[in-house]
């Protein structure tokens, strides 16, 4: 079995109007090479489901996002994403499903295990309930009769995630400290695409980290894409940290159309190899230390 | 006030720490600089069983001084985000966060200002605030107490609060607890009528009238509104030498 794909062939399988889940968290281990491939494509009207980072701002700035399902959008070391803010404040992204972070993983889990909803308390009594009239509550069928939030399954057409290593069969390894919810994003999606720093022979991969690092088994993946620095400018610890310098440059372009078009020409409208060169290559990025929060 | 031997930031750290008094073996999450230092001070003074984390995924047995790391973390456990959710939904946490707006019933806003379809100001999003506030004790720190931050009604309720109209029958309210509000002017709890926000103390140099003027709603008052306790010598030593030797707290609140 060989699940190797290119970023371009991944994006060729996506369609306008799809609901796409994006793995990682904020400015950490985002599948940015795949996001930039989407940015270069004609895809539009996308619904993004995400613990949001710069992918939200970039795709909003290009007018590709119809709806956002999120708990936050943050660049971590920079609290807010300037392009996401600009889109929201200009009225270009009125359709949002803003929910608690825990509700989001619960919705993914429900989709993964094929139940229509999972109960929780998060969201009750807040404007998450008031502003999302589609959310329903459920009464416990047991004697307690407690009324709970029925977090609906967040079914995804596709998921994109970035990990350290994959093998050709689609097993994926995360060497960083937190697997986030990448397995749930994959589990909730019909098509699952994983970019990685390197595709390795299986035994070489499993020798590099403890068994707990093998967070994606191959039932959760359809395609693997080798993309060194594929999470940049977000972190892929231990290989590289968050590129704060780059995120500052990216953020500054939200206030000026010319700056944004220069950024886009230099970093978005180029293939991945050219991107890696433009950001200083593995030599520079590999020296960015893990972030301290 | 040049004769005092502490800064307003240090007084606020002590007031933040007090919110964690009596908390046992639960995670103390101070989000933002002074809440984080407050949680650390609580652990090193009167709540030694508290758990702390590094805002990523490591549980640590000693507070981590903000700034450059000069010593390895005193790791005592692994707490990735998924386990954070499990822990907080199980109630074993007290979080102190810094809202952009806060109202008299304890509703806080970190989401957006203005119209939800086209906000005047887009902020972070609700993050984990809905789940936090309905599942475990929560407190707030407001570094810039004014009618713009302490408002009659928040633009978006990111949290639960005490407005009875917002609670559906059958929903359990008893797991959450809005405990303290510490600002740069005063300390409140929610011990007023129907859990209305209640003034407990004003910081040295502040008056009840002044705090009232700076607040966008009418709050209750404790039977005797005192002065917020000032840091003692040992607390100042812990703050200056142990939990914040890099003095990152300087300027965290305006004097």
Contact (Cβ atoms closer than 8 angstroms) between residue A99 and residue A69: yes
Query: Using a CB-CB distance cutoff of 8 angstroms, which residues of chain A are in contact with residue B123?
Result: 80
pLDDT the model gives residue B70: 86
B172 touches A at CB < 8 Å: yes
Distance CA B37, CA B30 (A): 7
The whole-angstrom distance between A140's CA and the closest CA on chain B is 9
The whole-angstrom distance between A186's CA and the closest CA on chain B is 16
Model confidence at A217: pLDDT above 80: yes
Query: Using a CB-CB distance cutoff of 8 angstroms, which residues of chain B are in contact with residue A146?
Result: 170-172
B67 domain-assigned: yes
Interface of B with A in 67-86 (CB under 8 A): 69, 78, 80-82, 85
Quick check: B134 and A98 CB within 8 A? no
pLDDT the model gives residue A293: 83
B175 domain-assigned: yes
Q: What are phi and psi of B111, to 5 degrees?
A: -100, -60
Torsion sign, CA atoms B208, B213, B214, B217: positive
B3 domain-assigned: no
B249 domain-assigned: no
The whole-angstrom distance between A187's CA and the closest CA on chain B is 15
Q: Torsion over CA of B189, B40, B80 and A80, rounded to 10 degrees?
A: 70
Quick check: A121 and B56 CB within 8 A? no
B221 domain-assigned: yes
Quick check: A126 and B158 CB within 8 A? yes
Q: What share of chain B is helix, strand, coil (3-state, %, to 5)?
A: 25, 25, 50
CA distances from A271 to A106, A136, A220, A276, B205 (A): 36, 44, 27, 9, 61
Model confidence at B2: pLDDT above 60: no
Distance CA A144, CA A146 (A): 5
Interface of B with A in 20-59 (CB under 8 A): 54-58
Q: What is the pTM of this model?
A: 0.97
Stretch A185-196: mean pLDDT: 98
Helix (H, G, I), strand (E, B) or coil at A117: strand
> Mean pLDDT, chain B, as a whole number?
97
Distance CA B123, CA B150 (A): 17
Domain boundaries, chain A: 7-98+156-279, 116-152
pLDDT digits (tens, 9 = 90+) for A48-103: 999 999 999 999 999 999 999 999 999 999 999 999 999 999 999 999 999 999 99
Distance CA B246, CA B255 (A): 19
Count of CA atoms in the C-beta half-sphere (13 A) of A42? 0
Query: Using a CB-CB distance cutoff of 8 angstroms, which residues of chain B are in contact with residue A131?
Result: 116, 156
Which chain B residue shows the shortest CA-CA distance from A123?
A: B130
Looking at the 3D structure of chain B, how many domains does it have? 1
B14 touches A at CB < 8 Å: no
Domain with B33 in it: what CATH number?
Answer: 3.40.1080.10
B112 touches A at CB < 8 Å: yes
pLDDT the model gives residue B1: 45
Best A25, A29, A88, A94 member to test B by mutation, with max B CBs in 10 Å, is A88
> Mean pLDDT, chain A, as a whole number?
98
Q: What are phi and psi of B179, to 5 degrees?
A: -95, -65
Per DSSP, the residues of B174-201 read TT-EEEEEEESSEEEES-SGGG--EEEE
Distance CA A28, CA A232 (A): 9
pLDDT digits (tens, 9 = 90+) for B197-245: 999 999 999 999 999 999 999 999 999 999 999 999 999 999 999 999 9
B226 domain-assigned: yes
Distance CA B138, CA A130 (A): 22
A122: exposed, middle or buried (Cβ count in 10 Å: 0-12, 13-18, 19+):
buried
pLDDT the model gives residue B19: 98
Q: What is the CATH number of domain A7-98+156-279?
A: 3.40.1080.10
Contact (Cβ atoms closer than 8 angstroms) between residue A269 and residue A61: no
B1 domain-assigned: no
| Helix (H), strand (E) at residue B237 | helix B233-237
Range of the domain at B98: 8-243
Which chain B residue shows the shortest CA-CA distance from A91?
A: B118
Say what the ipTM of the complex is: 0.96
Stretch A274-285: mean pLDDT: 97
Percent of chain B with pLDDT over 90: 95
């Amino acid at each position: 079995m060989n699940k190797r794909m290119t970023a371009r062939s991944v994006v060729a399988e996506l369609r306008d109007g799809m609901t796409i889940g994006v793995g990682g968290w904020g400015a950490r281990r985002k599948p940015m090479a795949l996001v930039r491939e989407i940015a270069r494509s004609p895809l539009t009207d996308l619904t993004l489901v995400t613990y949001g980072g710069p992918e939200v701002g970039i795709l909003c700035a290009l007018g590709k996002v119809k709806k956002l399902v999120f708990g936050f959008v943050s660049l971590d070391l920079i609290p807010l994403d300037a392009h996401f803010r600009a889109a929201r404040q200009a009225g270009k992204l009125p359709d949002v499903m803003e929910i608690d972070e825990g509700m989001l993983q619960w919705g993914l889990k429900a989709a993964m295990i094929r139940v229509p909803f999972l109960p929780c308390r998060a969201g009750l009594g807040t404007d998450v309930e008031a502003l999302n009239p589609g959310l329903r509550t459920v009464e416990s069928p047991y004697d307690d009769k407690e009324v709970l939030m029925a977090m609906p399954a967040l079914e995804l057409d596709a998921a994109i995630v970035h990990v350290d290593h994959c093998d050709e069969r689609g097993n994926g390894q995360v060497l960083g400290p937190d697997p986030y919810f990448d397995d749930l994003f994959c589990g909730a999606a019909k098509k699952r695409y994983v970019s990685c720093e390197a595709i390795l022979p299986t035994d070489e991969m499993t020798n590099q980290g403890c068994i707990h690092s093998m967070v994606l088994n191959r039932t959760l993946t359809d395609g693997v894409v080798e993309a060194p620095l594929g999470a940049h400018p977000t972190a892929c610890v231990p290989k590289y940290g968050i590129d704060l310098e780059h995120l500052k440059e990216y953020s500054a372009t939200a206030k000026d159309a010319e700056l944004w078009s220069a950024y886009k020409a230099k970093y978005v409208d180029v293939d991945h190899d050219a991107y890696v060169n433009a950001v200083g290559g593995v030599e520079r990025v590999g020296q960015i230390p893990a972030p301290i929060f | 006030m040049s004769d005092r031997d502490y800064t307003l930031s240090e007084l606020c750290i002590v007031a933040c720490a007090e919110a964690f008094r009596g908390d046992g073996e639960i995670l103390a999450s101070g989000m933002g600089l002074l809440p984080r230092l407050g949680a650390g001070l609580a652990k090193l003074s009167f709540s030694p069983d508290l758990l702390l984390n590094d805002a990523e995924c490591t549980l640590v047995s000693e507070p981590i001084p903000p700034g450059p790391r000069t010593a390895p973390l005193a790791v005592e456990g692994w707490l990735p985000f998924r386990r954070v959710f499990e822990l907080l939904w199980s109630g074993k946490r007290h979080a102190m966060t810094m809202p952009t707006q806060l109202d008299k019933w304890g509703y806080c806003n970190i989401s957006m200002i203005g119209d939800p379809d086209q906000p005047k100001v887009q902020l972070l999003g609700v993050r984990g605030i809905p789940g936090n506030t309905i599942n475990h004790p929560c407190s707030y720190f407001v570094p810039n107490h004014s009618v713009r931050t302490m408002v009659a009604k928040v633009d978006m309720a990111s949290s639960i609060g005490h407005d009875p109209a917002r609670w559906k029958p059958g929903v359990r309210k008893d797991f959450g607890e809005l405990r303290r509000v510490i600002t740069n002017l005063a300390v409140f709890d929610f011990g007023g009528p129907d859990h209305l926000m209640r003034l407990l103390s004003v910081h040295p140099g502040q008056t009840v009238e002044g705090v009232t003027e700076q607040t966008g709603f009418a709050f209750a008052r404790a039977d005797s509104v005192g002065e917020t306790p000032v840091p003692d010598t040992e607390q100042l030593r812990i703050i200056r030498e142990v939990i914040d030797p890099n003095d990152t707290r300087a300027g965290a609140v305006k004097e």
